[in-house]
Amino acid sequence: MKAAGAPDGGPLAGLRVIELGTLLAGPFTGRLLGDLGAEIVKVEAPGKPDPIREWGKARYEGRSLWWPVQSRNKKCITLNLREPRGQELLLRLVEHADVVTENFRPGTLERWGLGYDRLSEVNPRVILARVSGYGQTGPYAQRAGFASVSEAMGGIRYLNGFPDQPPPRMHLSLGDSLAGMFAAQGILAAIYWRDVAGGGLGQVVDVSLMEAAFAMLESTVPEYDRLGIVRGPQGTNLKGIAPSNIFKSRDDKWIVIAANADNVFRRLCEAMERPELADDERFATHLARGDNQDEIEGVVADWARERDAAEIDRVLNEAGVICGPIYTIADIFEDPQFRAREMLLEHHDPEFGSYIGPGIVPKLTRTPGSVRWSATWEEGSHNDEIYGGLLGLDEDARTSLREAGVI
């Protein structure tokens, strides 16, 4: 339920974002802002739309299921940014915008005469969020960048997996999503400085996929700097943090048990009916358990192997021990917590009807975000609204632009 006085659609209602670029990181930024109420005007090249419309092998009614979620809450227009008339139209749109997002290779906007200097001439308050593989500066700036390489060079790929095995990637484009989240954070910070702190002007938000991955490295940076430690993959646990691992149940399911803090470990020992372990000198302290990690985790594994996953989950949570099963997406659909938190939301696709998509994160009590519509499939579905309504171009002008391949 919306709180009294809350704007329709979320806390960012009234914020207008022009989304340039395709695929993942830049459009994910737009999705996050759109979920919270911003008006997202997504620009696609006429006849060459965002490839994510067709990405992925999974098809429902002949359609990809990635596009309708990634582009929910967005108004789709077509515009040829390589043509001078298209560039002029974009500048007119920028006059009415708070934010422009793009994820082209650095220098692309400048080649089109649409760099930040030009955008800020027509709108000094506009914020330009630029997402790229390596950032707008530095020796790698001109390299093409994908999430797979950014995760590798950002350091998180090396930490994943098991020692002496090839570093695997997560079956997701994690680097793109991380970059999109940092871009949204940077945009909100720039808006705060412009509108609240009194700055009054826009600025460039420069996000690198590689740096977004690197930002996740916790203490590995000072560990190497001061101690020369090169942290590597550890498999299913964290070295020296015990017991904290995955354990297989009697019914062949994996469950995470994390009881590395002293007070939680004592609760685990009580729940396992092995209270004496909490005072055993091998396990009585955090450091001692780290030194005897294999031994104590072997004890927990033996206990878990004799019980079904549901029993382990119930017994340990009742005892105040941190634990939970490793879920597939099928398990998530059955879990009441996801439903209670509205994380499985019904969407209504204009072509194939209802489907379930991910909910809104984060939750706001007074100005919650929402899924106002699933992505439209028609290219330029909002051309008339944006070019006619926002820019005031009449039907003849729009027809001329279409015939010239500008929109």
- The rounded distance, in Å, linking the Cα atoms of 207 and 190 is 13
- The rounded distance, in Å, linking the Cα atoms of 393 and 102 is 25
Cβ neighbours, 10 Å, residue 306: 10
Cis peptide before 368 (omega within 30 of 0): no
Confirm if 20 and 104 have CB atoms less than 8 A apart: yes
Helix ranges (H only) for 53-202 are 67-70, 84-95, 108-111, 116-122, 147-153, 156-159, 174-195
CA–CA distances in Å: residue 154 to residues 3, 75, 170, 208: 42, 33, 14, 10
Active-site annotation holds for 176: yes
3-state secondary structure of 197: coil
Catalytic residue of the set 98, 176, 313, 349: 176
Quick one: which of 205, 189, 208 has its CA closest to 197?
Answer: 189
Residue 83 neighbours by CB under 8 Å, 6+ apart: 404, 405, 406
Across-strand partners of 356?
A: 346
Residues forming the active site: 176
